[in-house]
A = this chain, B = another copy of it.
Amino acid sequence: MDTTYVHGYTAPEARRLGDQADTLAGLLHAGTAYPAGSRVLEVGCGVGAQTVHLVARSPGAHLTAVDVSEDSLDQARRRVPGVEFRQADLFALDGEWDHLFVCFVLEHLPEPEKALAHLQTLLRPGGTITVIEGDHGSAFFHPRSEHAQAAIDCLVRLQADAGGDGLLGRRLYPLLADAGFDDVRVEPRTVYADASKPELVTGFTRDTFTAMVEGVGETAVANGLICEADWARGIRDLYRTTREYGAFHYTFFKATARRTPGGAS
């Protein structure tokens, strides 16, 4: 896994990831429950933001969670006691698992195709993989703002510069199908927030999405992608979508697929 994680490893960022996971848990985890006794591997668990929901929804499963960052794992161990957390690079993983869960990981990898090909070798024949990703091209909002769009584009650009793809969600189907998985099914999981859903406006539009964009501001300005005034206006315009007559739309994609039951890949 790459170590140039575009969002950084700061304390506010860890909090953001936790808030995000809590606000979105119902949306992202609906439909994901693993049988008691099944061997489940979470790949790229980070600070354990999703791990806590995996445990809650699959209390009888044997969950192992891995990440490349020891610092993140320390936080994850504090957040979710009782789970086996291990430091490992995705490409160094081995063993045989019934189910893999991979959330907000592929978007940070230079070669998601290769990652999926390797992950497939970790599954028993017929075992499943669940992959969840966002797509920053799905963000649109009212009031419209070119400056807000430019700020989002900076995040996408920085993520691309770091070898990732902030627009990966739309590619989940081709990526999984191309890797040879069977029964690939991709569903949009859409967040839409307006003043009738104040907890979503706060929890998602403000504290998740806008906070995520805001978090790359210094780097974006330092790298010359945008001037400080335009950046400030873009962020201000994102906050404007959280006001009384604003609206915000974002789509996550959740994919499930299966390793060929015969074992061939």
A residues at B contact (CB < 8 Å): 135, 137-138, 140-142, 144, 167, 170-174, 177-178, 184-188, 190, 192, 194-196, 244-247, 249, 251, 253
The CB with the most chain B CB atoms within 10 A, among A141, A177, A184, A194, is that of: A194
A144 & B167 in contact (Cβ 8 Å cutoff): yes
Q: Which residues of B contact A138 (CB under 8 A)?
A: 138, 140, 249
A177 & B195 in contact (Cβ 8 Å cutoff): yes
Q: Which residues of B contact A246 (CB under 8 A)?
A: 174
B142 & A174 in contact (Cβ 8 Å cutoff): yes
A184 nearest CB across to chain B (Å): 6
Output the nearest chain B residue to A178 by Cβ-Cβ distance: B245
B185 & A170 in contact (Cβ 8 Å cutoff): no
Assuming the A-B contacts A187-B192, A251-B251, are A173 and B140 also in contact, with contact meaning beta carbons closer than 8 angstroms in the complex? Answer: no
B186 & A173 in contact (Cβ 8 Å cutoff): no
B190 & A140 in contact (Cβ 8 Å cutoff): no
Q: Which residues of B contact A173 (CB under 8 A)?
A: 142, 194-196, 245, 247
The CB with the most chain B CB atoms within 10 A, among A140, A172, A195, is that of: A140
8 A-B pairs with least C-beta separation: A174-B245, A173-B194, A188-B192, A142-B170, A137-B140, A188-B190, A190-B190, A173-B247
How far is it, in angstroms, between the C-alpha of A185 and the C-alpha of B192 when the chains are bound? Answer: 11
A247 & B186 in contact (Cβ 8 Å cutoff): yes
How far is it, in angstroms, between the C-alpha of A167 and the C-alpha of B143 when the chains are bound? Answer: 11
How far is it, in angstroms, between the C-alpha of A177 and the C-alpha of B173 when the chains are bound? Answer: 38
B177 & A245 in contact (Cβ 8 Å cutoff): yes
How far is it, in angstroms, between the C-alpha of A195 and the C-alpha of B174 when the chains are bound? Answer: 9
A106 nearest CB across to chain B (Å): 14
Q: Which residues of B contact A144 (CB under 8 A)?
A: 167, 170
Q: Which residues of B contact A137 (CB under 8 A)?
A: 140
A247 & B190 in contact (Cβ 8 Å cutoff): no
Q: Which residues of B contact A177 (CB under 8 A)?
A: 195, 244-245
Q: List 16 A-B contacts (CB under 8 A).
A: A138-B138, A140-B167, A142-B170, A142-B173, A142-B174, A144-B167, A173-B194, A173-B195, A173-B196, A173-B247, A174-B247, A177-B244, A178-B245, A186-B194, A190-B251, A251-B251
